[in-house]
């Protein structure tokens, strides 16, 4: 089934530059979709529509829809609360960006935003999210250390745990491994494959091998348009 889909999505940056031109694209449930294309083609712009990141900057305009299933919520509708959207659709960025807080409080962040302060509940959720991000064993004895003391790869897994803590239905990854070494990269790729068992993933990458390795579907954008979309095996074996 389709978990979410953009329908005829257009996006204009402040000043009028049209960065997305009528993008219609599905995200299949519990699959990984890779979004590829040359620098500047609109990949990040597209990703940021899904969690209403653009709302943080005045002057941007967009039209079209992003529909989530099965409830048919249009993520881009005016009445929809961006904070709620970010709980359901969470983002992992290129550079690990933990908050200047403890490991524990980084993961607890989304729960705090929701008003959850019951220690037992937060403890359990923090542990579950860190396990989900394959980080628990490495940090369980230092949960109150500052996040900045972790290695780059650990920090990225912490950011994944932070994203997982609110039980998102969709996770967005914006070039999640381009700041990481090969071993950390392999860890994150494996983690994405595991996360696919319980949620839907959209990953922007400029690394074609990575797209071929991890994704089920591949979308190719060029100058703000969706040029190709299909099964990853088909896209990469085409002559």
Q: Which is nearer to ligand ADP, 39 or 141 (CB)?
A: 39
The CB-of-38 to ligand ADP minimum distance in angstroms stands at: 7
The CB-of-60 to ligand ADP minimum distance in angstroms stands at: 5
Please give the residue ranges that form the binding site for ligand ADP (CB under 6 A). 13-14, 17, 19, 37, 39-45, 54, 57, 60
Q: Which is nearer to ligand ADP, 154 or 177 (CB)?
A: 177
Residue found by looking up tokens 């529909």 in the block? 67
Q: Which is nearer to ligand ADP, 61 or 142 (CB)?
A: 61
The CB-of-132 to ligand ADP minimum distance in angstroms stands at: 26
Closest CA to 31 of 208, 198, 187: 198
The CB-of-114 to ligand ADP minimum distance in angstroms stands at: 25
**Tokens for 60?**
């941007």
Q: How far is C-alpha 203 from the chain's CA centre?
A: 7
**Tokens for 64?**
């079209």
**What whole-number distance in Å separates Cα of residue 185 and Cα of residue 48?**
23
Q: Which is nearer to ligand ADP, 46 or 104 (CB)?
A: 46
Which residues, other chains included, contact 146 with Cβ-Cβ below 8 Å and sequence gap of 6+? 100, 101, 102, 103
């Amino acid at each position: 089934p389709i978990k979410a889909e953009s329908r005829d999505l257009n996006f204009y940056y402040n000043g009028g530059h049209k960065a997305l031109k009528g993008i219609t694209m599905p995200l299949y449930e519990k699959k990984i979709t890779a979004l590829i294309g040359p620098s500047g083609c609109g990949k990040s712009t597209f990703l940021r529509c899904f969690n209403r990141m653009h709302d943080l900057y005045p002057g941007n305009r967009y039209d079209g829809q992003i529909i989530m299933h099965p409830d048919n919520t249009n993520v881009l509708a005016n009445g929809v609360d961006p904070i709620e959207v970010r709980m359901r659709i969470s983002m992992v960025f290129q550079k690990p960006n933990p908050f200047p807080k403890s490991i524990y409080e980084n993961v607890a962040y989304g729960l705090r935003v929701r008003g959850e302060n019951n220690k037992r509940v937060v403890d359990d959720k923090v542990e579950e999210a860190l396990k989900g991000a394959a980080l628990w064993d490495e940090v369980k004895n230092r949960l109150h250390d500052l996040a900045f003391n972790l290695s780059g790869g650990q920090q990225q897994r912490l950011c994944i745990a932070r994203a997982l803590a609110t039980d998102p239905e969709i996770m967005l990854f914006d070039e999640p491994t381009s700041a990481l070494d090969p071993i950390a990269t392999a860890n994150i790729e494996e983690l994405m494959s595991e996360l696919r068992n319980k949620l839907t993933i959209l990953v922007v990458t400029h690394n074609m091998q990575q797209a071929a390795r991890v994704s089920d579907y591949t979308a190719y954008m060029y100058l703000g348009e969706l040029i190709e979309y299909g099964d990853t095996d088909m896209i990469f074996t085409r002559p």
